[in-house]
Amino acid sequence: MQQMRQQLSEKCYADWLRSKRRRSNQNSDSHSNMNGKNKNSALLGVGVQSNGMPTMLVEAARRRAEQTKRTVQQWERRKLLELQRQREQQIRERHEQQVRDHLRHQLSQLAWHRWLQQQDKHQQQQDKHQQLQQQHIKASRLRPRTSPSLSSQKLQQQQHKQQQQQQQLQQQKQQLQQQQQRSSSMRRLAASPLPAIESLYLHVPLSAAQRSLRQRLDSIDGLNMQRPRRT
């Protein structure tokens, strides 16, 4: 559109120049014809006229033609300057538009890269979060299955140990009761009057089994004598 307008303006300007030159030529021809007529009338005239009058008219016409020519040249010069200024303005605007387009393209590329980076970071965070959730779910699924079995095993072991300890305590109690019964029976035997038996033991020789039994009884009595009484 701008080129078409420029071409139309140049064409109009050229047409105007041609018409202007044509009018100026016509004016110069008319002035020359008038000068010729004036000369003829001067030669054929009624009275004697001064010789400087035709030259003044020619000089005035020449000055007008030169003035018109200068005016046209100035107008052409101004028009050319204006056209040149418009071309420079158009070139400058195109250059600025190219710079703006390039800058806009760079900014759009930068924004696109930043958006991609943000999407990558967001995706990585989501992946990490999903991995943590999956690990937590796996741990929560495995925990109730293993912990009751381990706790039951520990409880069974503790109960077994307690049973063993109770059995050991019962055995120890039974052994102590048996020892106490033996010691009490031996004390009763020792406390009973046995002078005849002792005299019999003194005078009658004892067998090996009897001697071992006598030694055992004596040792039991000694232990009972050494054991402190309970308060």
Q: Is the separation of the CB atoms in 79 and 13 below 8 Å?
A: yes
Determine the pLDDT at residue 103. 92
Two structure tokens written together for 151: 């706790």
Does some domain include residue 152? no
Angle at alpha carbon of residue 119, lines to 102 and 108, rounded to 5°: 10
Angle at alpha carbon of residue 99, lines to 96 and 101, rounded to 5°: 110
Domain count, the chain: 2
Does some domain include residue 212? yes
Does some domain include residue 200? yes
Does some domain include residue 230? yes
Range of the domain at 221: 183-231
Determine the pLDDT at residue 179. 74
Looking up tokens 């008038």 gives 34
Under DSSP, the state recorded for 107 is H
- φ, ψ of residue 49 in degrees (nearest 5): -115, 165
Under DSSP, the state recorded for 227 is S
Rounded to two decimals, the pTM is 0.32
Own/partner contacts of 60-63, CB < 8 Å, gap of 24 or more, are 61/27, 61/28, 61/31, 61/32, 61/35
> What is the three-state SS of 165-196?
HHHHHHHHHHHHHHHHHHHHHHHHHHHCCCHH
Does some domain include residue 187? yes
Domain boundary at 42, 75, 90, which? 90
Does some domain include residue 193? yes
Determine the pLDDT at residue 94. 92
DSSP letters, 198-211, are HHHHHHSPP-HHHH
Does some domain include residue 132? no
Q: Is the separation of the CB atoms in 57 and 37 below 8 Å?
A: no
- What count of Cα atoms within 13 Å lies in the side-chain half-sphere of residue 130? 6
Does some domain include residue 40? no
Block mean pLDDT (10 aa), the chain, length 231: 66 76 70 54 44 72 87 89 91 92 91 91 87 83 57 75 82 78 66 49 58 73 54 46
Burial of 79-95, coded b for 16+ CB within 10 Å and e otherwise, reads eeeeeeeeeeeeeeeee
> What is the three-state SS of 37-84?
HHHHHHHHCCCCCCCCHHHHHHHHHHHHHHHHHHHHHHHHHHHHHHHH
